[in-house]
């Protein structure tokens, strides 16, 4: 049932993102044709990025909450493993190391990949100044929390339960856990819909799933995820004019 909730939550998140984008477009005085152009733009408007993120998060937090209420102990934080320990700050090094690892994986192919940084630029959109700060906070603070809650708090637990039957032990259980961790990472990568960066996202997703399973909580992998995203945001800020457009940094 937790897997059913995960699938339903993802679908609801996608649909809610569309609805929120439509509402935001109406508030901004945009037509349906203009909204279509913005949704496919390489640098979408700030309001579009924020509204779609909020829509996704409705499904990402709603599904775990329902799973806890109907198929868990109704103790949301406990059921989903939302706990933090000071040693979870090691996730900072893991997040930075993850960016380095992904960079090394893609290094031989960077010159052959068209617009490799396109997904990151699309996320930050045409934002600058205060708008960029809002998106940066959403990307570094809220997105990792919501995604870890959904992918590791809900989905990974569902996959582990399915792939490790109650009677499984020894090598059979280990193999089931490994398959669940790999599947969770792959689904995490696929969910982003970025085919160029799929391998890197899936690889980092597998790392996050492994951490979550080993620690039994979301603290360390949430910190690692946030640090991973922070490196990307800082890189964008340093290479562009998003914070101080008048200075013309490039």
Structural domain harbouring 25? 2-247
Give the span between the Cα atoms of 63 and 6, in whole angstroms: 6
pLDDT of 115 reads: 59
- pLDDT (average), residues 41-46: 78
Contact 53, 7 (CB under 8 A): no
Kindly list the distances between the CA atom of residue 71 and the CA atoms of 35, 62, 76, 79, 117, in Å, as whole numbers in the listed order: 39, 14, 11, 10, 41
Residue 67 Cα distances to 31, 150, 165, angstroms:
38, 11, 20
Q: How far apart are CA 6 and CA 181, in angstroms?
A: 16
Q: Compute CA distances 102 → 75, 109, 188, 201, whole Å.
A: 36, 12, 15, 8
Q: Give the tens place of pLDDT for each residue, 142-178.
A: 999 999 999 999 999 999 999 887 666 677 788 889 9
Q: What is the DSSP letter of 247?
A: G
- What pLDDT is stored for residue 24 in this prediction? 92
* Average pLDDT of span 87-97: 94
Please state the domain count of the chain. 1
Q: Which of 53-57, 96-100, 192-196 has the highest mean pLDDT?
A: 53-57
Provide Rg for the chain, Cα atoms: 19
CA distance 194 to 184: 16
**Is residue 137's pLDDT more than 60?**
yes
User: Which of 78, 27, 74 minimizes the C-alpha distance to 50?
Assistant: 27
């Amino acid at each position: 049932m937790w897997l059913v909730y995960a699938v339903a939550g993802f679908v609801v998140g996608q649909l809610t993102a569309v609805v929120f984008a439509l509402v935001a477009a109406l508030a901004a005085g945009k037509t349906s044709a203009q909204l279509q152009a913005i949704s496919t733009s390489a640098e979408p408007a700030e309001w579009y990025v924020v509204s779609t993120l909020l829509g996704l998060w409705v499904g990402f937090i709603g599904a775990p909450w329902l799973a806890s209420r109907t198929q868990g102990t109704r103790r949301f934080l406990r059921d989903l493993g939302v706990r933090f320990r000071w040693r979870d700050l090691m996730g900072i090094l893991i997040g930075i190391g993850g960016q380095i690892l992904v960079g090394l994986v893609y290094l031989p192919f960077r010159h052959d990949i068209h617009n490799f940084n396109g997904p990151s630029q699309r996320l930050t959109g045409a934002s600058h100044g205060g708008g960029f700060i809002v998106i940066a906070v959403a990307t570094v603070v809220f997105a990792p929390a919501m995604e870890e809650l959904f992918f590791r708090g809900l989905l990974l637990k569902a996959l582990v339960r399915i792939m490790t039957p109650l009677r499984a032990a020894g090598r059979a259980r280990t193999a089931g856990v490994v398959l669940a961790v790999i599947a969770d990472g792959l689904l995490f990568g696929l969910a982003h819909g970025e085919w160029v960066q799929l391998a890197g996202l899936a690889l980092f997703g597998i790392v996050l799933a492994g951490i979550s399973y080993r620690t039994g909580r979301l603290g360390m992998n949430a910190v690692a995820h946030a640090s991973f995203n922070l490196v990307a945001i800082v890189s964008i800020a340093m290479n562009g004019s998003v914070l101080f457009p008048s200075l013309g940094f490039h």
